[in-house]
Amino acid sequence: MPISILCFIATAIVFVLQWIPATGIFLMFLLAPLWSVLLINLGFVAMFFEARSGALPRWALVFPVLYFGGYYAVAIYQHLAVNHTIETASAPVSHLKFDPDNTAIESDYGNEEVSHDLLVFCGVARAIEPIYGHDLALVFKRDPSCSAAPASRFSTNLGEMPRHSLTMDRCIVKTRESYNGPVLKISSPYRPGTAEGSSEIIVTASDGSQATIENGSYPALSWFPMPMIGCALQDSPSAWVCDAAFARTRIPMLQPKDGVTGPAIAVANVLGLTRQPL
């Protein structure tokens, strides 16, 4: 029997075993939903060569061509559509009054990278982190004597970019001191009931004025076909649910540029700041 047919039969058998809760629960822990990625892709690749070699009828070439050709046609269209949406998305019309030399920035945990990049790349003088229960605060400032390149200053990585962290950057000095000056706050409050990948950044100036920046991601097919077929236990209501779909990647709304994270660029635009040479 041709290898391609065996792959598709194996895919069907694995799905049936997953559909039965008694066996499906064990297969779920063995990452069985990922098995279909290997089996289906291998099946269509094998079908292409088997049709060319005569092991299958010549007309069987249509199926792998439709599978891969159709998949990449949709993937390219989705990525182009997402890129167009990102490029044409309107920037926030609100521009807040901000003095980078005399105003400190304070961000919640999720926006620490924004504070870092505003401090390092956009000329903001200081960032602070309040020490609750005390009159002192952690104050972060650039070390003018440090000449290390940004990419070599961090001790950990996050994805494809270095983690821009106030505490991990060796060229940022941290002190404990009293600070009573104006503060600009950057936060991302939790919004219950919002769609996956949807969030926002709220920038609050020292005078109370605010600007809201939409931040999240758009889904698009990954560049490698990943047909995932599997079952899992679902809560509220409790049920054993099976599903089949292509895995998708998420493209951030706010794109990085010149080593600066996307959210930091958006906040800098709201504050009227530009990237400065190091």
The last residue of a domain, from among 57, 88, 119:
88
Kindly report, residue by residue over 8-50, the tens digit of the pLDDT. 999 999 999 999 999 999 999 999 999 999 999 999 999 999 9
> 123 lies in a domain?
yes
> 242 lies in a domain?
no
Specify the pLDDT at position 154.
53
Specify the pLDDT at position 226.
96
Kindly report, residue by residue over 172-219, the tens digit of the pLDDT. 888 888 888 899 999 887 655 444 445 788 899 988 888 888 888 889
Question: 80-84, 91-95, 198-202 — which is least confidently predicted?
Answer: 91-95
Same domain assignment for residues 143 and 174: yes
229 has pLDDT over 60: yes
Specify the pLDDT at position 256.
85
Specify the pLDDT at position 27.
92
Specify the pLDDT at position 134.
63
Same domain assignment for residues 123 and 48: no
From the number of C-beta atoms within 10 Å of its C-beta (0-12, 13-18, 19+), residue 263 rates as: buried
Same domain assignment for residues 75 and 114: no
The residue among 132 and 106 whose pLDDT is bigger is 106
H-helix or E-strand containing 82? helix 62-88
Q: What is the mean pLDDT of the chain?
A: 85
Most confident of 37-41, 87-91, 171-175, 273-277: 37-41
Same domain assignment for residues 161 and 195: yes
225 has pLDDT over 50: yes
Same domain assignment for residues 67 and 28: yes
- In 3-state terms, what secondary structure has residue 42? helix
Specify the pLDDT at position 177.
85
Radius of gyration of the chain (CA): 26
Specify the pLDDT at position 90.
55
2 preceded by a cis bond (ω within 30 of 0): no
Same domain assignment for residues 65 and 111: no
The last residue of a domain, from among 88, 114, 140:
88
Q: Are 114 and 166 in contact, with CB atoms under 8 Å apart?
A: no
Kindly report, residue by residue over 114-173, the tens digit of the pLDDT. 888 999 888 899 998 877 656 778 889 988 887 666 555 554 444 444 467 787 788 888
Specify the pLDDT at position 194.
47
H-helix or E-strand containing 29? helix 21-29
> 109 lies in a domain?
yes
238 has pLDDT over 80: yes
Domain span including residue 165? 104-214+256-271
Q: What is the mean pLDDT of residues 216-232?
A: 92
Dist. CA 172–CA 120, nearest whole Å: 8
Query: Phi then psi for 215, rounded to 5 degrees?
Result: -140, 130
Specify the pLDDT at position 155.
47
> 251 lies in a domain?
no
Please state the length of the chain: 278
